[in-house]
């Protein structure tokens, strides 16, 4: 089953935080409070009071514009220079619900494309058996198909033939269609890595601050599909090795930064991860089985193996940097 080794479930330990200990609404700036954190950034009483002042100074602005103004004032930006608008809006909503600020009423609720998104439509392709050896089938073509005319084909193949079906990724991601002799034979999906994975974090040895800064340098293999009519020995491990040789350069072109480390999950109740191990991926440990939405320490899903692959010998040094 080496040709069908694929993961896949997006495990991530639960995010928990206490409501910010901010003072009751008032005009005084003399209160002091312990710093609280939200999405890796620290906040104090003075920050909350500044937000109240900003809202009061722009009574006609929407929540979106207030969030953008706050990001600009604080220079709160993503590594690519874009404002952290959605993260900031989450902070404002949290403070509003905690009764520490008064956001203006919602003016417009846009349709959520992820909720209303239609499932990928089936496609007709050649499904006759495709057999042989890796050295006999001709050169493999790797195409990054995100935002290309071939993206619907990629989505449809995962929807039809991967046991987890297609899932729309968020954040930085890439979609690869592997073909030979004019026929697609495999699909690989990559996305931003989960923020918290204990086994991975211990393997890398980075601090919480380094993880917050450098998590973007890790790519997470969310889907790996060898189409079911393809029977080629060692194809899966060969594809993984070829993928590892090019993904960092592709990521640099798409998102302006390289990749130093790859990771994936394997469900041991279904697969053995043979193709990953054959491609020199190493076992980092296991997930907790709780998922990012869990509010307890009781596992609520199958425990996955975490496998990783370093793209440079200096990955620990590069990922641990905080300067």
CA atoms within 13 A on the CB side of 75: 0
Q: Which two tokens stand for residue 10?
A: 């997006």
Widest pairwise Cα distance in the chain = 77
Q: Please tell me the distance from the alpha carbon of residue 287 to that of residue 285, in angstroms, as a whole number.
A: 7
| Nearby residues of 92 by Cβ (< 8 Å), 6 or more positions away | 51, 63, 66, 67, 70, 101, 103
Decide if 93 contacts 38 (C-beta within 8 A): no
What is the per-residue pLDDT across 95-116, written as a single tens digit (0 to 9) for each? 999 899 999 998 777 666 656 6
Decide if 1 contacts 276 (C-beta within 8 A): no
Q: pTM of the prediction?
A: 0.72
What is the per-residue pLDDT across 114-173, written as a single tens digit (0 to 9) for each? 566 789 999 999 999 999 999 999 999 999 999 999 999 999 999 999 999 999 888 899
DSSP reduced 3-state for 275: helix
* DSSP annotation of 274: H
Orientation angle between helical segments 85-97 and 63-74, nearest 10 degrees: 110
Mean pLDDT of the region 70-91: 88
């Amino acid at each position: 089953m080496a040709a069908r080794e694929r993961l896949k479930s997006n495990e991530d330990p639960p995010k928990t935080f206490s409501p910010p200990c901010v003072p009751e609404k008032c005009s005084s700036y003399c209160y002091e409070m312990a710093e609280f954190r939200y999405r890796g950034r620290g906040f104090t009483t003075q920050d909350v009071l500044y937000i109240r002042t900003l809202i009061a100074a722009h009574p006609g602005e929407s929540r979106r514009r207030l969030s953008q103004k706050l990001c600009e004032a604080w220079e709160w930006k993503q590594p690519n220079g874009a404002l952290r608008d959605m993260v900031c809006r989450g902070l404002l909503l949290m403070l509003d619900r905690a009764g520490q600020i008064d956001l203006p009423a919602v003016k417009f609720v846009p349709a959520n494309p992820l909720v209303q998104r239609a499932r990928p439509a089936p496609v007709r392709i050649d499904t006759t058996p495709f057999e042989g050896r890796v050295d006999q089938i001709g050169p493999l073509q790797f195409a990054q198909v995100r935002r290309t005319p071939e993206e619907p084909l990629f989505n449809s193949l995962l929807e039809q033939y991967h046991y987890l079906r297609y899932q729309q990724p968020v954040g930085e991601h890439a979609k690869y269609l592997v073909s030979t002799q004019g026929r697609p034979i495999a699909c690989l999906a990559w996305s931003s890595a989960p923020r918290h994975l204990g086994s991975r974090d211990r393997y890398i040895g980075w601090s919480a601050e380094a993880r917050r800064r450098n998590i973007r340098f890790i790519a997470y293999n969310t889907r790996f599909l060898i189409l079911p009519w393809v029977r080629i020995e060692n194809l899966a491990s060969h594809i993984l090795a070829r993928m590892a040789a090019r993904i960092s350069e592709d990521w640099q072109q798409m998102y302006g930064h390289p990749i130093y480390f790859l990771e994936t999950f394997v469900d041991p109740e279904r697969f053995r991860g043979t193709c990953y191990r054959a491609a020199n991926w190493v076992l980092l440990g296991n997930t907790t089985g709780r998922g990012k939405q869990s509010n307890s320490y009781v596992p609520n899903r199958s425990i996955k193996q975490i496998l990783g692959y370093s793209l440079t010998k200096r990955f620990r040094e590069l990922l641990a940097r905080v300067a």
